[in-house]
Amino acid sequence: MAGTKITILYGSETGTAHDIAEQIWKRSKRTGLKSSVDAMDEYNIRNLINEQMMIFVVSTAGQGDTPLNMKQFWKCLLRKSLPVDFLSNLKFSVLGLGDSSFEKFNFAAKKLNKRLIQLGATELVPIGLADDQHDLGIDAVFSPWLEDVFNNVCHEFNVPKGSILSEHEIIERFRVDIIRDQKPDNSITDIYLYEAEKNKTLITSTIIENIRTTASDHFQDVRLIKFKVPEVDYSPGDIVYIKAKNSDEQVDKFFDVLNKNGVDVHPDMLIQVSEKEIKLPTVLEPKLTLKQIVQQYWDLNNKPKRSTLHTLSLISENELEKEKLIEFITAAGQEDLFNYINRPRRNIIEVLNDFPHTTNKLNVKLLFEIMTPVKPRAFSIASSSKQTKNEVHLLVAVVRYKTKLVDTRYGLCSNWLATLKSNEKAVFWIQKGTFKFDYEKPMILVGPGTGIAPFRSLLLDKAAKDGDLSSCLVFFGCRNEKKDYHCEDDFRLLTAKYGLKLFCAFSRDQPDKIYVQHLIRQQKELCWSFLQNSGNIYLAGNCKNMPSAVREEFVEVAKVCGKMNHEQAENYIRTLEKSGRYQSETW
């Protein structure tokens, strides 16, 4: 086993791939193998030709794009000068993290897998295509894929299968020390502001306004939030990534559950986290109180994954609790796991409360192994820097819903954003979105609900640039004209002053529900004339039913107005999609 090493690389917009890569690292560590974890663009690609064993974890961004921290690595792999046997010594496996509701499901992972084979590399096991839409999420594919990978790894390296570490030994990523003789640095109140000072790509903003765009008696709370950002540079279609903080109520619940079950922790404990075997996140560099870490770094709304339950099973000494935790992580226990965690969306606080004897065995170090960092949440920018200089606007639907559990479920980021008040600060970063708008061609824009956000940005920008929106056709949908017509004043102005063609589907304002696809049917001749004049279709909104219903309607438009049969019309729309004339951004 001397010299045996696995290189684990990840590419992700949100950090999920990084979490999975760390789980793979722990598995290799438990197996007795050396391994390293890096983002693809932080890896020294000159070492690639000497690698013998690599594992890749890749998310897909947008419409089949590679994630931001994979782009340079991917560009290097695509060099035409590379010989077909460039990676002939490499054995590899790829895990894709995707969502099957998107047309280009796991496209980035599939492209990487194909390119590695083209360069002479050999697959250890077939590519794993994890699907966030599965009842068990990505674990449904990840867990069996990981077993297959390490069965083959052990065979390749002639390593006995199974764990060489003690069953109860926890593999720690960081060194965690409690500082007892110092006071916290009161200058660090927001750990993401600290991170922003260290990272030039992060933007510190100040809240200007936080306006509710829905009626006070409407079931859904939607906010138009305006941020002041000096010298900000962005284009229509760009996306903001932002990390939220847990509510004071959730933080109090977390400490209450730990304390009542005998865990010796308190909010004012001063913690120093340092690098042990995994690269330390910038936000954890300073000495922080445990409350700062709990409130700003760990996601208290997170649904625990199998890896968390596995760690809890390792420390549990209560026979009944240990037996149940082990059952949850077995193949036979997956239906019970789904019914316990996923269906009611039970969070980590509630799980710890349900296993009091196991929770009693926790300490600060172990909390770092079972807690999940807050993931950034993406929002389309809803403003134009030409219209509102030095500002970024977001249109945010506040997520609240009920399950069989007593407490209402809350979306972490949207609820935090809804609480922000004027002059409060928030840290985010901006990335290019998936839309590639062509201002020179007619545009058909379909954006029900908060899907209108990127099109508000586009239309305000184009109005400022061209002074004419007559080549833009918008289909907007909501429930009621008087309840949830987001940014109504903006769209009435754009229609009256700049010639925007706007059609609104207020689905509940009449006995029969009317959706955006019904308005497309009504305006089929107008839509067809736009398409015949080289127009492009852009669609944004919820991925559930709307995108497929709208697509079917455009197929009907081609059939009726273009006098095509179904196959011809389907091929016509498919050609628009492949050529970038029909673009979608859904969530």
Separation between Cα atoms, residue 226 and residue 393, nearest integer Å: 4
380 annotated ligand binder: yes
What are the average pLDDT values for consecutive 10-residue runs of the chain, which has 587 residues? 76 84 88 88 91 93 80 93 93 92 85 96 94 84 91 83 61 90 82 85 94 94 96 93 94 97 94 88 93 96 91 94 93 89 94 97 94 93 95 95 86 95 95 91 95 96 94 95 94 96 94 94 96 95 85 95 94 93 88
Place of tokens 């690595």: 73
pLDDT at 1: 40
13 annotated as ligand-binding: yes
Q: 516 labelled as ligand-binding?
A: yes
Helix (H) or strand (E) holding 541: strand 536-541
241 forms beta bridges with: 378, 429
CATH no. for 5-157: 3.40.50.360
pLDDT of 407: 86
60 marked as binding residue: yes
How many whole angstroms separate alpha carbon 212 and alpha carbon 218? 11
Q: Kindly tell me the sign of the dihedral angle through the C-alpha atoms of 301, 189, 240, 282.
A: negative
CATH topology classification for 188-232+376-433: Elongation Factor Tu (Ef-tu); domain 3 (2.40.30)
pLDDT score of 311:
92
Annotated domain spans of the chain = 5-157, 188-232+376-433, 245-370, 443-586
How distant is the alpha carbon of residue 35 from its chain centre? 26
| 177 annotated ligand binder | no
Q: Is 150 annotated as contributing to ligand binding?
A: no
108 appears as a binding residue in the annotation: no
Q: How would you label 248-282 residue by residue, b for 16+ Cβ within 10 Å and e otherwise?
A: eebbebbbebbeebebebeeebbbebeeebbeeeb
Establish whether 345 is an annotated binding residue: yes
Confirm whether residue 492 is marked as ligand binding.
no
**pLDDT value of residue 166:** 52
Report the 10 Å Cβ neighbour count for 408: 9
Angle, alpha carbons 577-580-582 (nearest 5°): 50
Report the CATH fold assignment for 245-370: NADPH-cytochrome p450 Reductase; Chain A, domain 3 (1.20.990)
CATH 3.40.50.80 fits 443-586, yes or no: yes
- Annotated binding residue 61: yes
- 132 annotated ligand-binding residue: yes
Phi, psi dihedrals of residue 27, rounded to the nearest 5°: -65, -40
Q: pTM (2 decimals)?
A: 0.89
User: What's the DSSP call for residue 68?
Assistant: G
- CA-to-CA separations, 115 to 91, 306, 331, 406, in angstroms, rounded: 13, 32, 33, 50
Amino acid code (one letter) for 285:
E
- DSSP-assigned letter for residue 579: T
Q: How far is CA 295 from CA 142, 247, 267, 359, in A?
A: 29, 7, 10, 19
Residue 463 makes CB contacts below 8 A (sequence gap 6+) with 387, 469, 494, 497, 498
* Side-chain-side CA neighbours of residue 484 (13 Å): 25
Does 253 show up as a binding residue in the annotation? no
CA atoms within a 13 Å half-sphere pointing along the CA-CB vector of 2: 0
Residue 338: Cβ within 10 Å count: 17
Query: Do the annotations mark residue 378 as ligand-binding?
Result: yes
Q: Is there a binding annotation on residue 379? A: yes
Q: Is 66 annotated as a binding residue?
A: no
The region that residue 64 occupies, defined by phi over 0 for left and psi between -120 and 50 for alpha, beta otherwise, is: left
CA quadruple 88, 89, 93, 94: dihedral sign: negative
> Is 513 labeled as ligand-binding?
yes
pLDDT at 4: 65
Is 408 within 8 Å of 401 (Cβ atoms)?
yes
Which SS3 state, helix, strand or coil, does residue 97 take?
strand
450 is in an annotated binding site: yes
CA–CA distance, 306 with 17 (Å, rounded to integer): 15
Q: Is 412 annotated as a binding residue?
A: yes
Question: Is 477 a known ligand-binding residue?
Answer: no
Q: What is the dihedral of CA 57, 62, 67, 73, to 10 degrees?
A: 100
Residue 21 buriedness (CB in 10 A; 0-12 / 13-18 / 19+): buried
Give the residue among 440, 505, 518 at the shortest CA–CA distance from 472.
440
Do the first three CATH levels of 5-157 and 188-232+376-433 match, i.e. the same topology?
no
